[in-house]
A and B are shown apart, each in its own frame.
Chain A
Amino acid sequence: MAETTTSGEATNGRSSTLPEEFLEQWRDVAYNCFSSGHKFCREVCPVTQVTRDERFTPTAFHANVIAMEKGHLSIEDVAEDYVNCTMCGACELRCPNTLFTGDFYRFRQRTIDVVKAMRAFAVEQGIHQKNWQRWAELTDRWGNEPVLGWTRETSGSKVRAWAAGLDIPTGGETVLFADCEAAFKRPSVPRSVALLLRACGVEFGLMDQQWCCGGPMWETGYVDIAHKMAEHNMIDWRKTHTKRIICPDPHDYITIIEHYPPLDENFDEFEIVLAVDLIAEAIREGRLELGTPVQRTVTYHDPCRLNKRLGVWQSPREILRAIPGLTFIDVDHVTQWSYCSGAGSNLWVEKPELTAEISRRRIAKAQELPGVDGLVSACPWSERPLTEQGEAVGMDVFDIFEITAEAAGFEV
């Protein structure tokens, strides 16, 4: 039995074909991919490397838009396919349409945006992924993501607990945005950052009530909740005339710089800074001394949002090379375009086995390097599955700020 779409055409019993606004926004990038056929995205995609399934390739994510426009597929057919993505950005960066001509035409592939849009469309149509839906509801209720499990509340009032004993003021011109995962799940990270910033002479405070940056809400299709988070955070910043926000977690940084400006016409008041850039600069300028040797042989994991999405790969290496006693075996950042921890866009919340396998392979790559028994990352989300997989094979996983704080003589 045929049903009609918003545009009034019969769809052979398939409901929920794409509305014209969606197509207007995404048809061109979809055709740009579909018309090219390069598929260079696939072998750099961490999900494709594991699953080898064409349904979950960046290619399919674009082809589906065309197929849906022509009535061959509906959102019911593909919603679950779009879960299988960490939004690492390898595909849209490696794609020749970006890498070779994206700048010339001011037109690049935007696979991440397409996946976000499709996930949001699915949610709008009432198609939810069970765990993501629960995750969104709890984030909305508590103000922060349920990073400690479904029953341990992660409220805005508890988000500063990691800073106990550090006497950090509230608000001020510069604020440290500590991130839900780091604050609740891996507090040694924000503690390390706080101590390092102090040692560099940077004055900063913490938000009164830090809420989730909203990133995972945008990523999993719960856009209204994302907006709520963003608006709350900006009100909080303005309460104390905050001008600069320091982000240790690249997920927060990229969420804020991409998603917040369209929500606020005065966003230019704020300067958003990556902690890793700040610390590297301080070392370069002699404002931070790393005097305690760390006798380890380590390699570095380029977090996807830092390397592929933002192009930041030099600062962390500068920091690691400044740590005395450290033997640092590097793998270049372009090779790492095809590396990932599998944690991005909350993939692990819906598909824990997939994230686990992606992380297992990342750890295995580190193990191949001579003498390496430590993997340093610069993203708390990646450190969750990497630490778990590392434990199984004797590979320690550090956050870059943890190891740098150690080199600065701090005990965290």
Chain B
Amino acid sequence: MATAIADSVVDELVAICGEEHVFTGRSALFNRARVPAPFPAHRWDAHIPQAVVLPVSAQQVSEVVKLANARGIPVVPRAGGTGLTDGAVPLRGGILVDVKLMNQIKEIDLDNRTVTVGPGINMLKLSEELRRYGFIYPDNPASYPCSLVGGRIGTSGWSLIGGRFGHARDLVISFEIVLPTGEIIRVGDGGGPKVRKSSSGFQLKHLFMGHQGTLGIVTEATLELVKHPEAEFSMFYAFDNYMDAWRTCGELARSSVATLAGVVLFDEWKVAYLRRDDEAYIPQDDSAKAVVAAAAYGFEDELRAGAKRLLRIGQASGGKYMGDEISQGDWWSRHDRYATPQHGRTRDGQVALMSWHCEDAAIPYPELPKVREKWHAIAAGLRERFEMFDDWGMFAYTNGAFKPWGDYLTEIDIGIWESKWDEESWEAWVDAKRELARVSIEHGGSITACHGSCREGEVDLVPLEMGGGFEVMKKLKRVLDPNNIMNPGKYLLDQAYEEE
């Protein structure tokens, strides 16, 4: 439990950021403690910062970080606070640096096709502005309406349409970052902020992509401008068994249709879960057990040709096209179908409000059926012991940027009746997280495709997954953050400071 921050520190923060942007009041602290991932509200006060600042410039961020170093106070960067791995959750109090006021569009460069923004801007709001020029910023996670560019870099986010337009790391060209010791540097592919591909020096952009705020604070980013698509195509196919759906998913992903943006596989548990309210839209035939969806974007002429190739695969697959209303409506609602608390059900079918945990992993295509079996068994084990856990099924999404035929962002969604948390259920949950992560590694995958892996439970397996890479992580952390003030306690990186 964090103690109150020293008045002298608060005074210094005020001198840097101005009185109106420094907060120590309880509501300011308690409302910046969590992210959407399941949160131990019974231990809320263990996760609050000691002070909050809302800086407006890289200079202010740099000075705050230097102050933190001088006084040995932790710093926790926070963009949207919409991540799913506790990256923005304070573990040791400290100064929370909330970048939301840094949400300006600084420059739109039509010649270089870039837009430069502050880290506090949301992608949907950015795209609304870009539309006036005929552009969009298509970094499209489920959190598209609420996550912020700074967090997308912090987590190296994944996009539902990454197969066509790339993911955060492909759409972010370069960014300015304040290092844990306060220096402000620019990283990208090489030197010029608008260079997309370079071989000059180390490729530092990739080091900081996905650092979960442990290596610095992003203060500006230069992004790709993508032409607003002329046309969109989405199709949903229903199958009476999972394996046919899995095979069709693979075929579509390997189709090499250039306009293809992504393919999604819904397993039987997921279809059953969506049925909990799908009846609200169009009642589905009982024979629909698993579903495959695909989406594509482009000019109308190329898209018609590409869509027909995809449809021919669908028609030959044994699956049934689910009609335009579902194929379009369900695709357009792709951001909104995940975390519906009312979809929670107790064992006797009563509605209970549940929060949503999404375990995401990167799994090679051939391993998907086996991983599905093992993960559902883990979820069933939890449900058997505690009614508060509910299996909301699995999705698998094409994971590769521009090349959708590789591995899959594989997720199991578990509903958790959070008001029932106690120490026993929390421990069981953390164990389950470890088991889920272990399965991913055993099947040649990664613990996480895009959320990050610094939550309790899964983080224990990061050294196993990284192998020798974990030693490199520790060395880099020690060098860049000698005083361990930048989001300390994440990713087991305290180990970097232990004497041999």
Residues of A at the B interface (CB closer than 8 Å) are 28, 31-32, 34-40, 42-43, 52-55, 57, 59-60, 63-64, 66-67, 70, 72-73, 77-78, 81, 94, 96-97, 99-101, 103-105, 107, 335, 368
Q: Are B32 and A100 in contact (CB under 8 A)?
A: no
- Could you tell me the distance between the alpha carbons of A53 and B32 in the complex, rounded to whole angstroms? 10
Those 4 A-B pairs whose CB atoms lie nearest each other, nearest first: A37-B36, A35-B355, A52-B100, A104-B280
B122 interface residue (CB < 8 Å to A): yes
Q: Are B27 and A38 in contact (CB under 8 A)?
A: no
Q: Are B145 and A43 in contact (CB under 8 A)?
A: yes
- Could you tell me the distance between the alpha carbons of A43 and B120 in the complex, rounded to whole angstroms? 11
B146 interface residue (CB < 8 Å to A): yes
Number of chain B residues whose Cβ lies closer than 8 Å to a Cβ of chain A: 52
Minimum distance in angstroms from A74 CB to a CB of chain B = 8
- Could you tell me the distance between the alpha carbons of A40 and B335 in the complex, rounded to whole angstroms? 10
B311-345 vs A: 1/0 string, CB under 8 Å?
Answer: 00000000000000000000001011101111100
Q: Which residue of A lies closest to B26 (CB)?
A: A77
Minimum distance in angstroms from B366 CB to a CB of chain A = 33
Q: Are A32 and B341 in contact (CB under 8 A)?
A: yes
B354 interface residue (CB < 8 Å to A): yes
Q: Which residue of B lies closest to A44 (CB)?
A: B145
- Could you tell me the distance between the alpha carbons of A32 and B343 in the complex, rounded to whole angstroms? 11
Q: Are B27 and A60 in contact (CB under 8 A)?
A: yes
The listed residue with most B CB atoms (<10 A of its CB), out of A28, A35, A37, A81, is A35
- Could you tell me the distance between the alpha carbons of A103 and B356 in the complex, rounded to whole angstroms? 21
Q: Please name 22 pairs of A and B residues whose Cβ atoms are closer than 8 Å in the assembled complex, sorted by A.
A: A34-B355, A37-B37, A38-B36, A38-B339, A39-B146, A40-B335, A43-B124, A52-B54, A52-B101, A52-B120, A55-B28, A57-B31, A60-B31, A63-B31, A70-B41, A72-B44, A77-B26, A96-B336, A100-B337, A101-B280, A101-B342, A104-B342
B341 cross-chain contacts in A, Cβ below 8 A: 31-32, 35-36, 97
B11 interface residue (CB < 8 Å to A): no
B468 interface residue (CB < 8 Å to A): no
A63 cross-chain contacts in B, Cβ below 8 A: 30-31, 34
Contact of B146 among A32, A43, A52, A335 (CB under 8 A): A43
Q: Are B27 and A55 in contact (CB under 8 A)?
A: yes
The listed residue with most A CB atoms (<10 A of its CB), out of B54, B103, B145, B419, is B145
Residues of B at the A interface (CB closer than 8 Å) are 23, 25-28, 30-32, 34-37, 41-42, 44-45, 54, 80-82, 98, 100-101, 103, 120, 122, 124-125, 128, 132, 143, 145-146, 277, 279-280, 333, 335-337, 339-343, 351, 353-356, 418-419
Q: Are A70 and B44 in contact (CB under 8 A)?
A: yes
Contact of B333 among A28, A39, A100, A104 (CB under 8 A): A100
| Total cross-chain contacts (CB, 8 A) | 127
A73-B122 CB under 8 A given contacts A35-B341, A96-B340 = no
A105 cross-chain contacts in B, Cβ below 8 A: 277, 342, 351
Beyond A37-B339, A96-B340, 14 additional pairs, beta carbon < 8 A? A35-B355, A36-B36, A36-B341, A37-B37, A39-B82, A52-B101, A60-B27, A63-B30, A67-B44, A77-B26, A97-B341, A99-B336, A100-B337, A368-B132
Q: Are B44 and A55 in contact (CB under 8 A)?
A: no
Q: Are B336 and A54 in contact (CB under 8 A)?
A: no
Q: Are A77 and B27 in contact (CB under 8 A)?
A: yes
- Could you tell me the distance between the alpha carbons of A81 and B120 in the complex, rounded to whole angstroms? 21
A107 cross-chain contacts in B, Cβ below 8 A: 342
The listed residue with most B CB atoms (<10 A of its CB), out of A43, A63, A64, A73, is A43
B337 cross-chain contacts in A, Cβ below 8 A: 96, 100
Contact of A103 among B125, B280, B354, B419 (CB under 8 A): B280
- Could you tell me the distance between the alpha carbons of A54 and B99 in the complex, rounded to whole angstroms? 11
- Could you tell me the distance between the alpha carbons of A100 and B279 in the complex, rounded to whole angstroms? 12
- Could you tell me the distance between the alpha carbons of A193 and B212 in the complex, rounded to whole angstroms? 58
- Could you tell me the distance between the alpha carbons of A38 and B418 in the complex, rounded to whole angstroms? 16
Contact of A64 among B27, B333, B342, B356 (CB under 8 A): B27
Q: Which residue of B lies closest to A66 (CB)?
A: B41
B128 cross-chain contacts in A, Cβ below 8 A: 335
Q: Are A37 and B277 in contact (CB under 8 A)?
A: no
Minimum distance in angstroms from A352 CB to a CB of chain B = 16
- Could you tell me the distance between the alpha carbons of A60 and B27 in the complex, rounded to whole angstroms? 9
- Could you tell me the distance between the alpha carbons of A362 and B247 in the complex, rounded to whole angstroms? 51
A32-B342 CB under 8 A given contacts A52-B120, A67-B44, A70-B42 = yes
Q: Which residue of B lies closest to A49 (CB)?
A: B125
- Could you tell me the distance between the alpha carbons of A67 and B29 in the complex, rounded to whole angstroms? 12
- Could you tell me the distance between the alpha carbons of A34 and B145 in the complex, rounded to whole angstroms? 17
Minimum distance in angstroms from A17 CB to a CB of chain B = 13
- Could you tell me the distance between the alpha carbons of A60 and B31 in the complex, rounded to whole angstroms? 6
- Could you tell me the distance between the alpha carbons of A104 and B351 in the complex, rounded to whole angstroms? 12
A55-B31 CB under 8 A given contacts A38-B36, A99-B336 = yes
